[in-house]
Amino acid sequence: MVSVPSFRPNSNFPQLCDKVTVGWDARRGRFVQATEDIPIGTVVCVEQGITVNVDQSKCYRCLKQLGDDGFAYCESCEEFYEPDAIACGDFDGLGIFKLSAHLVFSYPFLDMANLIRSNDPEIPQSAPTYLSTKDVTSVFQLTPYREIGEAFKEPPLQAAINKIVTSLEDDANWGRLEYNSRLVTFTKALRIMAERCAKNAHTIYGIDQMEAKDKKVPLGTGLFPISSIFNHSCTPNVYGFFVRNTFIFVSRGVKAGEELVDSYGVTYNQHTLQQRTEFLKNVSGFECYCDSCVQNKSLDAELEKSFNDLELCAKNASSIPDFSQYGDYLKPGSKEIEDLIVEFGKRRDAEVYTEHMFMLWKKFVENAKLRGIDYDPYLIHPYIEMVILSWNNEVECSEEEKASLLFITHRLLRNFYVGFHPVSDIIPELVDQSAKYEINQIRNTVERLIARSRSVWEHTDYQGSQKQPENKNGMTVIHN
C-alpha cells in the first residue's frame, strides 16, 4: 500500500482521517463531515481500492509498472489467485465486468457465499458506525444500478461467465460446487458487483496524465467504497488524486461542521452551468444542489470558446510575441487565455523568447485569479515554468521574486500532492540549496527539474505559420 506518513486514520473509518465522521440525511444520503477545522494540505482520506489494469504495462492488480517479462502481476501480487484468462486480458473487452469479476475474487469465498445468500440490502437510511474497504459489506451498501442486469443476457458475457466458471473447477473453494451450482453462484456474485461498479467505479489516471491532460489510456479502473461517500460540489473543499491503486484526498481548508465535498469532474471556475448540469446528469446521473448550481451561477463569458482550435493558433503563429494577436480577442479572465498560453509554451521557440514566456506564465496566474482561482493545483504548471525560467537565469528576475516563486511552488506541491507529484522531490532540494546558496547544486537541480517537467508537460516541435485560424465568429486573425 502507498505510504502517507502524515495521515492519521479514524478508528471507526480507517480509510478516513481522525478529523471527520460519516453522517446521513434524506437528500444527500451518506456524507463526510468535519468534526474540527481541517487545515489546507491535511490528508483526509487514503483508500487502497480494488482495481484492475486497463494499461497492459501495469500490474493487473495494483497497477505498478511491469517489466518486459510478459507477466500480468508484479512480484507483490503474483500469489493472488484469479483465473488466468481474466488477468491476462482475455476479458478486457467486457468493460465494467472485468472489474466486477475481480471484485468477486478479491474477498474471501465464505464472505461472498454469505453475501449471495442474503437479500439485497435497502439503500442505507442511517449513518454507519463502521466502514472499511476490507469488508465486503462496504461494497454491498453502495447504491446499485439494477438496469445493468440486462447485459447478462448478451452472448459475449454469457460465454465469458461460462469460461470463468469452467476454469474454477480446480479451485479449493469454488471447485467444491458442482458446475450448475457454481454457475448460478458466480453469476449472482458478478451481478451484485456489476450493479455497484456501474454507479460507483472510478477510472484511474496517474498524476502525470492529469497534468498533461492525457486521457488516452487510463492506468485502470477500480472501486473505492469509502471514497465514494464524498459527495460532489462544483466548489469542492477537498482535492483527490490517484497513486496507482490508492485514492488520496487532501483538504483545501474545511471548517468544523462543514461537509467535505469533491468535484466529480466539473467545477464552477472551469465549466459553465450548462456544462456542469449536462455532465453530472449524463455521466454521474444526478442533479447538483451546491450553492453555485442552486443559484444558477455561471462564468459564461469567461468560459465560452472564441477559437475553434487553440493548438492550431499556436502552431501557425509566426513567433511567440504573436500571442497578443490572439489574446486581444479574449475577455480578461477567459480560460482560453490560459489554454492558449499552454499551447504557445509548447513551441520550440519558447526556449528563445524566454522573457515573453515568463510574462505569459505570469499572465496565466493573473488571469486565473479573475475567475477566483488563486490557490489551486491548477496553478502548479505555470509556477513550475516560472521557477525554471527564473532559476535557470533565462530572464531578469530579482532574488526576492525568484525566492517567492520557489516558495509558492513548494507550498502548492506540498499542500495538494503531499509528496506524490512527479516534481515533488526536486523542488524541496532546490529550496534547501537556495538557502545555502549552493550554485553548482542549484544548476544541476534545475536541469533535473527541466527534464522532469518536460516529461510531464510534453513540448512539441511546431513552429512557423501556414493557414490563418479563424475565431468562432468566422473572423480571420491577421498577423501584422
Confidence of residue 78 (pLDDT cuts 50, 70, 90): confident
Burial of 480 (0-12, 13-18, 19+ CB in 10 A): exposed
Residues 204-222 have pLDDT tens digits of 999 999 998 877 789 999 9
pLDDT at 213: 82
In this structure, is residue 40 part of a structural domain?
no
* Model pLDDT, residue 121: 64
Q: Cβ–Cβ contacts within 10 Å for residue 104, how many?
A: 23
Report the distance separating Cα 227 and Cα 51, nearest Å.
Answer: 14
pTM summary value: 0.91
Among 154, 175, 203, where does a domain finish? 203
Domain annotation covers residue 32: no
Question: For 217-267, what is each residue's pLDDT tens digit?
Answer: 899 999 999 999 999 999 999 999 999 999 999 999 999 999 999 999 999
Q: How confident is the model at residue 117 (pLDDT cuts 50, 70, 90)?
A: confident
Q: How confident is the model at residue 461 (pLDDT cuts 50, 70, 90)?
A: low
pLDDT of residue 470: 39
**Structure confidence at residue 151 as a pLDDT band (50, 70, 90):** very high
pLDDT in tens, 162-200: 999 999 998 999 999 999 999 999 999 999 999 999 989
**What pLDDT, on the 0 to 100 scale, is given for residue 265?**
93
Q: What value does the CA radius of gyration of the chain take, rounded to a whole number of Å?
A: 25
Domain boundary among 158, 185, 203: 203
For residues 152 and 146, is the Cβ–Cβ distance under 8 A? no
Choose one of 203, 236, 255: the last residue of a domain. 203
Cβ 45 vs Cβ 15: under 8 Å: yes
Q: Can you say how many angstroms the Cα of residue 259 is from the centroid of all Cα atoms in its chain?
A: 21
pLDDT of residue 83: 80
Q: Which residues contact 458 (CB under 8 A, 6 or more apart)?
A: 212, 346
pLDDT value, residue 108:
92
In a domain, 176, yes or no: yes
Give the relative orientation of helices 109-117 and 179-200 as an angle to the nearest 10 degrees: 90
User: What pLDDT sits at residue 460?
Assistant: 55
Residues 437 and 316 in one domain: yes
d(CA 448, CA 344): 23
The answer to whether residue 231 is domain-embedded is: no
Average pLDDT over residues 316-338: 92
| Shared domain check, 193 and 58 | yes
Residue 1 domain-assigned (yes or no): no
Q: What is the pLDDT of residues 99-115, one digit of tens each?
A: 999 999 999 999 988 88
Residue 108 maps to a domain: yes
What confidence score (pLDDT) does residue 478 get?
Answer: 31
Average pLDDT, the chain: 90
Mean pLDDT to the nearest integer, 405-414: 98
End-to-end CA distance of the chain: 57
Instruction: Report the percentage of the chain scoring pLDDT > 90.
Output: 72
Determine, yes or no, domain membership for 134.
Answer: yes
Task: For residue 68, give its domain range.
Answer: 50-203
For residues 71 and 186, state if they share a domain.
Answer: yes
Contact 47, 226 (CB under 8 A): yes
Supply the pLDDT for residue 133. Answer: 83
Question: With the C-alpha atoms ordered 181, 183, 186, 187, is the resulting torsion angle positive or negative?
Answer: negative
* 18 in any annotated domain: no
Question: pLDDT band at 1, cuts 50/70/90?
Answer: confident
What's the number of domains the chain is made of?
2
Q: CB of 248 within 8 A of CB of 45?
A: yes
